[in-house]
């Protein structure tokens, strides 16, 4: 139970990768704040899985793109549990389209949630982490942020921005024993990929060395490692979990 007595905030953890991360952190001893934007029922399911793993769970609805909602969430956690040790910036949305048809509001929505949301959350937890002289910030990016993808200019821009944000923040916080890293998943079997056409899935699998989609739990295992003491000398790094897609 290497994360015993630690408190983790996992944004967008009502389903998919976020849920798997929340459960894995709980399995390793952390108490988990399950953040969600709108699906309270799914968030409660995640919280139930966290409790079943032996840890405390708190569900908090907050739009990470809204600084005030984020601040209110973090203050609630600090009042109730007294600390925030781990932040996993996982919340993300897609609004895919080729650039000539990509609406300005869809560009803004994706950048606001996927990139500004990470800024809002990190900014809100830095002070308690500085006070404790210990912290872990893990940003969930994407291989699309490294390679680009047609029809996802907004998503790719946001996920690439997270990488620069990760490296810059790692330099700012390293002297206070706070690490900042990014995990870049490839194509993972989640609700987001379930809607892909079979032809598209086949094209993707042809590019993946392991010949299959990844599981959310495989991403969660890497996140949990980065959250632990064993990753204390790792910061500013981007770890891809893509089955060899980027080889």
How far apart, in Å, are the Cα atoms of 17 and each of 133, 168, 224? Answer: 28, 25, 12
Active-site residue, selected from the candidate residues 36, 155, 187, 233: 155
Question: Catalytic annotation on 155?
Answer: yes
CA–CA–CA angle 166, 136, 223 (5° rounding): 80
Distance between CA atoms of 219 and 215, rounded to whole angstroms?
7
Distance between CA atoms of 142 and 147, rounded to whole angstroms?
9
What are the φ/ψ torsions at residue 246 (nearest 5 degrees)? Answer: -90, 10
Secondary structure element (H or E) that encloses residue 76, with its range: helix 67-81
Distance between CA atoms of 228 and 16, rounded to whole angstroms?
22
Contacts of 87 (CB under 8 A, 6+ apart): 8, 9, 11, 121, 122, 125, 135, 136, 137, 138
Contacts of 131 (CB under 8 A, 6+ apart): none
Q: Which residues pair with 139 in a beta bridge?
A: 89, 182
Q: Which positions are catalytic? A: 155
């Amino acid at each position: 139970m290497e994360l015993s007595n630690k408190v983790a905030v996992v944004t967008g953890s009502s389903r998919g990768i976020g849920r798997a991360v929340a459960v894995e952190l709980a399995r390793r001893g952390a108490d988990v704040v399950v953040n969600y934007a709108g699906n309270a029922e799914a968030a409660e399911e995640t919280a139930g899985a966290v409790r079943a793993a032996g840890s405390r769970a708190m569900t908090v609805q907050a739009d990470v793109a809204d600084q005030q909602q984020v601040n209110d969430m973090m203050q609630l956690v600090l009042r109730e549990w007294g600390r925030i040790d781990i932040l996993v910036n996982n919340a993300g949305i897609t609004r895919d389209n080729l650039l000539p048809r990509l609406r300005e509001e869809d560009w803004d929505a994706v950048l606001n949630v996927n990139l500004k949301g990470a800024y809002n959350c990190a900014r809100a937890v830095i002070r308690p982490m500085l006070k404790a002289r210990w912290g872990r910030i893990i940003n969930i990016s994407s291989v699309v942020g490294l390679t680009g993808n047609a029809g996802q200019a907004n998503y790719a821009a946001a996920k690439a921005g997270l990488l620069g944000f990760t490296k810059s923040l790692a330099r700012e916080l390293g002297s206070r024993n706070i690490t900042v890293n990014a995990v870049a998943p490839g194509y993972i079997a989640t609700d987001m990929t379930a809607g892909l056409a079979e032809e598209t899935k086949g094209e993707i699998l042809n590019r993946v060395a392991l010949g299959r989609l990844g599981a959310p739990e495989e991403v969660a295992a890497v996140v949990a490692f980065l959250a632990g003491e064993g990753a204390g000398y790792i910061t500013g790094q981007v770890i891809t979990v893509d089955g060899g897609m980027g080889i």
